[in-house]
Amino acid sequence: MTTPELGLPMAVPADGLPARVRIHEVGARDGLQNEKATVPTRTKAEFIHRLAAAGLTTIEATSFVHPKWVPQLADAEQLFPLVRDLGDLSGTALPVLVPNEKGLDRALALGATRIAVFASATESFAKANLNRTVDESLAMFEPVVARARTHGAHVRGYLSMCFGDPWEGPVPVPQVVRVCRALLDMGCDELSLGDTIGVATPGHVSALLTALNDQHVPTSALGVHFHDTYGQALSNTLAALQHGVTTVDASAGGLGGCPFAKSATGNLATEDLVWMLTGLGIDTGVDLGLLTATSVWMAEQLGRPSPSRTVRALSHKE
Amino acid sequence: MTTPELGLPMAVPADGLPARVRIHEVGARDGLQNEKATVPTRTKAEFIHRLAAAGLTTIEATSFVHPKWVPQLADAEQLFPLVRDLGDLSGTALPVLVPNEKGLDRALALGATRIAVFASATESFAKANLNRTVDESLAMFEPVVARARTHGAHVRGYLSMCFGDPWEGPVPVPQVVRVCRALLDMGCDELSLGDTIGVATPGHVSALLTALNDQHVPTSALGVHFHDTYGQALSNTLAALQHGVTTVDASAGGLGGCPFAKSATGNLATEDLVWMLTGLGIDTGVDLGLLTATSVWMAEQLGRPSPSRTVRALSHKE
């Protein structure tokens, strides 16, 4: 056990957990995309720099989808150079979401070196989100992934609805494994297993990771992306860590979920995750104080408090 | 895997977890004691009956402390008979908190068969809460526990500040083990290990439970009582379940923590716990729909929404 600094839990490692976890910070993209308020480009760029200063090494920056679908991120073309103008972030990975080849072209033209595609494990969500079947969407991603790799870009495949789907209910594990396999086979370097509606529980997480392991999917290629809709994100994360997962998605301050909405469907808050990992003695490289200050600042920009319990507890103390 | 009913997670058991968990419901005592609003006695009695109808089998009813200290529960004498008047709860355990022999006399006079005492693992909190040293408070509880047992009452020993203390910081595990041992030796049937300020993380929980096991404290005598101050309560609960703990304290709707306070220091919400346990295929006997409806009803009595994420998500769906 190590003595904690002020505002940090005592570090007491647990058996069988990784020594280090890479947090894939999604607040600037997945978070802001789901906020009602549209944030000025300059604020977004400053947000990304503050996240990097807090020690986050992978910060998903924006999305090159059509502005008609995601007006909050319509400024991707302006944001990307502005982030560079504000200072050197060469040590920070700045992946961007691209929906198709046109989006890829825009991202590559701006010098993006890490891209992400967004697939669905269920037919209902593929239809609703992409207006395609699962296999049609995989066929659409294939040239995107191939061309990205030709340009030397790292490719992440998001897979949504890995546990439950609002139309179909529980999602069978083999169905998820099949799409994971297809995304890896087409050249994705890493997958992000998404519990888009937040219904997963630790045994379900464990069952999916076991099945992927049985199919020889390397755990090092897997990230987990949990939502706190039912408050389950951290216990699911613990189950994933116990299976050797070392990449965890989270959103600074829990951006993307409104604390006053009846249904708080937000992402896992990065601060709540860092609290648990710090307590487990797992290195993240993140300064929780700086990160909390960043989320308090962003909450002020959005005009509403952060839904993160850790942000509220720590900012109350200050 | 079993197919879920509407509004329930898919049940996917995980290895090494208990088949059944007893939830010790603290909303009516620990929850209401920490709410600003004072609830009418009749509403409290109805709340307890609704909790029992939702399947909770252990419902801490009230506290026999001096009304000067806890005015919210000053009606203990009136509540206890009123609960009986509203209907038969003979199948439901209704423990009550007693601070000293005078409180015990009041509780026994009303026919209480389960009592609880409230001890501290740290000197600072013993001084602040009981105006005694830890050993002086143990000496005070000794005749309370002995007399309760003479009357055939079941005795629970709450132990607060088992992980961190606001004045002392991290609490050494051996210090907690010593007080646990003393409470069991004086005759407590069960202990509730409290993370009063919510700073625990799963490795710390595991370390304490391992140390207690090493000192031959039977896991069957241990309950855990986690707070969601930093959002860690469910991952800590998962760690405790992995150590064989089968008694978990929770507060319906997360009563006792205000969702609008900067610092949400509330108890773990029973609904968030039931969601996880249901998903793990662990039997609790609780009907999540009835329980959620109860918490929505109580939130209306208090004039503010429940801080439970599960309550918000499920009540939004209805």
Burial (0-12, 13-18, 19+ Cβ within 10 Å), A318: exposed
Name the residue in chain A with its Cα closest to that of B206.
A14
The first and second tokens of residue B116, run together, are 């609880």
pLDDT-derived band at A316, boundaries 50, 70, 90: confident
Task: Give the DSSP per-residue string, A161-224.
Answer: -SSEETTTEEPPHHHHHHHHHHHHHTT-SEEEEE-TTS---HHHHHHHHHHHHHTT--GGGEEE
Q: With contact defined as beta carbons under 8 Å apart, do A294 and A252 qualify?
A: yes
Report yes or no on A41 lying in a domain: yes
Average pLDDT score, chain A: 93
Query: Which residues in chain B are contacts of A307 at CB distance < 8 A?
Result: none
Report yes or no on B200 lying in a domain: yes
Query: How many angstroms separate the CA atoms of B117 and A94, rounded?
Result: 54
Mean pLDDT over B98-123 rounds to 97
* CATH number for position A214: 3.20.20.70
Report yes or no on A17 lying in a domain: no
Report yes or no on A237 lying in a domain: yes
| Residue of B203, B276, B281 lying closest to A279 (CB–CB) | B203
Name the residue in chain B with its Cα closest to that of A304.
B260
Query: Which residues in chain A are contacts of B232 at CB distance < 8 A?
Result: 234, 272, 275-276, 279
Which pLDDT value is given to residue B2? 44
pLDDT-derived band at A8, boundaries 50, 70, 90: confident
Q: With contact defined as beta carbons under 8 Å apart, do A81 and A121 qualify?
A: no
Q: Does residue A4 have a pLDDT over 50?
A: no
| Residue of B17, B170, B230 lying closest to A272 (CB–CB) | B230
Query: How many angstroms separate the CA atoms of B95 and B190, rounded?
Result: 12
Catalytic residues of B: 258
Query: How many angstroms separate the CA atoms of A292 and A296, rounded?
Result: 6
Query: Which residues in chain A are contacts of B14 at CB distance < 8 A?
Result: 202-203, 206, 239
Domain count, chain A: 1
| Residue of A12, A204, A239 lying closest to B201 (CB–CB) | A12
Q: How far is CA B173 from the centre of its chain?
A: 21
Name the residue in chain B with its Cα closest to that of A204.
B12
CA terminus-to-terminus distance, chain A = 26
At B9, is the secondary structure helix, strand, or coil? Answer: coil
Query: How many angstroms separate the CA atoms of B156 and A44, rounded?
Result: 52
CA terminus-to-terminus distance, chain B = 26
HEC profile of B242-256: HCCCCEEEEEHHHCC
Report yes or no on A15 lying in a domain: no
pLDDT tens digits along B180-204:
999 999 999 999 999 999 999 999 9
Report yes or no on A306 lying in a domain: yes
Mean pLDDT over B240-261 rounds to 88
Mean pLDDT over B219-246 rounds to 97
Give residue A90's identity as a one-letter amino acid code: S
Query: Which residues in chain A are contacts of B227 at CB distance < 8 A?
Result: none
Name the residue in chain A with its Cα closest to that of B268.
A231
Give strand pairing partners of A93.
A58
Residue B42 C-alpha, separation from nearest chain A C-alpha, in angstroms: 28
Interface with chain A: mutation pick from B206, B267, B312, B314, highest number of A CBs within 10 Å = B312
The first and second tokens of residue B76, run together, are 């203990």
The ipTM, to two decimals, is 0.95
pLDDT tens digits along B254-272:
998 655 554 446 899 999 9
The first and second tokens of residue A180, run together, are 């994971």
Contact B203 A238 (CB under 8 A): no
Report yes or no on A10 lying in a domain: no
- Give the domain extent around A230: 22-317
Contact B310 A230 (CB under 8 A): yes
Report yes or no on A3 lying in a domain: no
The first and second tokens of residue A97, run together, are 């979401």
Give residue A217's identity as a one-letter amino acid code: V
- Pick from A73-87, A109-123, B240-254, B259-273: least confident: B259-273
